[in-house]
């Protein structure tokens, strides 16, 4: 873009020199009008080349914020599912159905002194030990606990598009014989920014982090490590606090 603008400016200067040498004086007013029009066009192009990336970043952040809110809801739903049922759910519709009726157990933990036989059946040696006891005192709806004021029924849809989030689950082996469940929900950036400047979109897909969303996807969770965080920078979370 910059090279094109410089070439245009240089060309306009050369044209002006040729005109002054070969165009009759009485037509200089017309030439001036043409050159002024060219200058306006070049000025707009320069302005647009500067403001284009700025507008792109502003619009991108607005779109990302809406998408991130849905990814947060998917994360909260998956974590609730794991807490209650011990696993993550790949089927988004089943995840929504789960939230419709799921309940957290409200527990109370207390310490209790009990006698334990440290001897044998024939020669018992009773020893008092302290044991932790967990009592269930009631239940609380997941909807009222985590999703008050949030429409989780629409969390699978990617705002601003006709697409759904891709949800995957799996397991990671931390130590021999111990597999830990993991999940990931994501959408590719190109789907979110498809109507915007393609060169800027390609640059965005190659972002390496910092104040930008790293990589070609906007995602939460991971299939490669035990991590339920999103890949967006912290300021997106601060906006909703």
Count: domains in the chain: 2
pLDDT at 199 over 70: yes
Whether residues 210 and 190 share a domain: the answer is yes
Whether residues 42 and 58 share a domain: the answer is no
Q: What is the pTM of this model?
A: 0.75
Whether residues 35 and 104 share a domain: the answer is no
> What is the share, in percent, of the chain residues with pLDDT greater than 90?
50
Report which of residues 85 and 48 the model is more confident about. 85
Whether residues 102 and 7 share a domain: the answer is no
Whether residues 74 and 32 share a domain: the answer is no
Expressed as residue numbers, the domain containing 154 is 52-238
Instruction: Give tens-digit pLDDT for 163-198.
Output: 999 999 999 988 777 889 999 999 999 999 999 999
Whether residues 73 and 184 share a domain: the answer is yes
Whether residues 59 and 129 share a domain: the answer is yes
* Whole-number Å distance between alpha carbons of 170 and 180: 8
Residue 241 is predicted with a pLDDT of 44
Whether residues 155 and 40 share a domain: the answer is no
pLDDT at 134 over 70: yes
Instruction: Give tens-digit pLDDT for 50-67.
Output: 677 888 999 999 999 999
Q: Which uninterrupted H or E stretch holds 71?
A: helix 28-85
pLDDT at 1 over 60: no
Whether residues 34 and 58 share a domain: the answer is no
Our CA angle for 195, 200, 203, nearest 5°, is: 130
Whether residues 102 and 16 share a domain: the answer is no
Whether residues 118 and 38 share a domain: the answer is no
> Please, what sign has the CA dihedral across residues 87, 91, 97, 100?
positive
* Whole-number Å distance between alpha carbons of 225 and 137: 35
Find the range with the poorest average confidence among 28-42, 56-70, 86-100: 28-42
Whether residues 47 and 57 share a domain: the answer is no
Instruction: Give tens-digit pLDDT for 81-94.
Output: 999 999 999 999 99
């Amino acid at each position: 873009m910059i090279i094109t603008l410089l070439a245009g400016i240089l060309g306009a200067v050369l044209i002006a020199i040729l005109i002054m040498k070969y165009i009759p004086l009485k037509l200089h007013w017309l030439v001036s009008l043409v050159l002024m029009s060219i200058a306006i066009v070049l000025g707009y192009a320069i302005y647009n080349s500067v403001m284009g990336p700025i507008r792109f970043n502003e619009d991108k952040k607005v779109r990302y914020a809406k998408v991130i809110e849905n990814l947060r809801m998917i994360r909260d739903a998956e974590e609730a599912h794991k807490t209650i049922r011990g696993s993550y759910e790949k089927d988004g519709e089943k995840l929504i159905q789960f939230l419709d009726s799921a309940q957290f157990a409200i527990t109370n933990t207390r310490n209790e002194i009990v006698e334990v036989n440290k001897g044998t059946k024939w020669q018992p040696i009773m020893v008092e030990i302290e044991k932790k006891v967990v009592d269930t005192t009631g239940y609380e709806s997941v909807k009222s606990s985590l999703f008050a004021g949030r429409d989780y029924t629409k969390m699978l849809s990617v705002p601003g598009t006709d697409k759904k989030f891709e949800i995957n689950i799996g397991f990671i082996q931390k130590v021999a014989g111990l597999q830990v469940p993991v999940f990931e929900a994501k959408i590719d950036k190109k789907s979110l920014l498809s109507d915007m400047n393609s060169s800027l979109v390609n640059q965005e897909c190659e972002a390496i982090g910092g104040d930008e969303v790293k990589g070609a996807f906007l995602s939460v969770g991971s299939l490669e490590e035990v991590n339920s965080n999103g890949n967006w920078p912290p300021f997106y979370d601060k906006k909703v606090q």
